[in-house]
C-alpha cells in the first residue's frame, strides 16, 4: 500500500504526469462526417501516417467541434486536423495532391505551396492545455 501511495505522490513531481489536450476546432462547415486529429511528437514523420503519436476522431459539429486527447506526457507536440466529410478515413486530394477537405494545424496555416513544418505548428505541453484550430 505504501508503494502505491509513493508512486501516486511522486509521479507528478518527476514530470511523468499525463495531461489532457482540449481542442476547439472552428470553421467546421457542416455536421457531415467527422473531425480527425493527429498528434505528432517529432519532426520525423510529421504529417505522415507512420509518424502519428496519437490519433482520434469525433462526430463533426457545424461551427465548432470540441474534443480532448487524454494521457499525453509533457513534451513538444504539433496537431494536424482535417474534416473527413465523407468518413472514409482518408484526406481526399485532387489530382495535384491538394486537399479537397478542410485542414488545420496548431499555431499555423497552410502555406501557398504546402503545409507548415513541425516547428511552425509545435507547442509545449507541461499541464492540461486548451488550443483552438481553425479549418
In a domain, 106, yes or no: yes
What pLDDT does 121 receive? 96
Residue 5 within a domain: no
Residue 5 pLDDT:
45
| CATH code (residue 106) | 2.60.40
- pTM score, whole prediction: 0.84
* Strand pairing category for 103-105 and 75-84: antiparallel
Number of domains in the chain: 1
Query: Quick check: is 23 in a domain?
Result: yes
Tell me, what's the pLDDT at 1?
Answer: 47
Residues 36-89 pLDDT 10s: 999 999 999 999 989 999 999 999 999 999 999 999 999 999 999 999 999 999
Does residue 128 belong to any structural domain of this protein?
yes
- pLDDT (tens digit per residue) in 16-34: 568 999 999 999 999 999 9
In a domain, 87, yes or no: yes
Parent domain of 49: 18-134
How far from each other are the two terminal CA atoms of the chain, in whole angstroms? 49
8 inside domain: no
Say if residue 104's pLDDT is above 70: yes
115: in domain? yes
**φ, ψ (nearest 5 deg) of residue 32:** -75, 140
Nearest to 74 by CA among 128, 116, 37: 128
Residue 31 covered by a domain: yes
Amino acid at each position: 500500500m505504501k508503494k502505491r501511495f509513493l508512486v501516486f505522490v511522486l509521479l507528478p513531481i518527476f514530470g511523468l504526469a499525463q495531461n489532457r489536450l482540449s481542442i476547439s476546432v472552428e470553421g467546421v462547415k457542416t455536421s457531415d462526417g467527422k473531425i480527425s486529429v493527429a498528434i505528432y511528437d517529432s519532426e520525423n514523420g510529421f504529417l505522415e501516417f507512420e509518424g502519428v503519436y496519437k490519433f482520434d476522431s469525433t462526430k463533426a459539429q457545424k461551427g465548432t467541434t470540441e474534443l480532448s486527447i487524454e494521457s499525453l506526457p509533457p513534451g513538444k507536440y504539433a496537431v494536424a486536423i482535417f474534416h473527413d466529410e465523407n468518413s472514409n478515413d482518408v484526406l481526399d486530394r485532387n489530382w495535384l495532391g491538394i486537399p479537397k477537405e478542410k485542414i488545420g494545424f496548431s499555431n499555423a496555416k497552410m502555406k501557398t505551396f504546402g503545409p507548415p513544418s513541425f516547428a511552425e505548428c509545435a507547442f509545449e505541453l507541461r499541464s492540461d492545455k486548451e488550443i483552438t484550430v481553425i479549418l
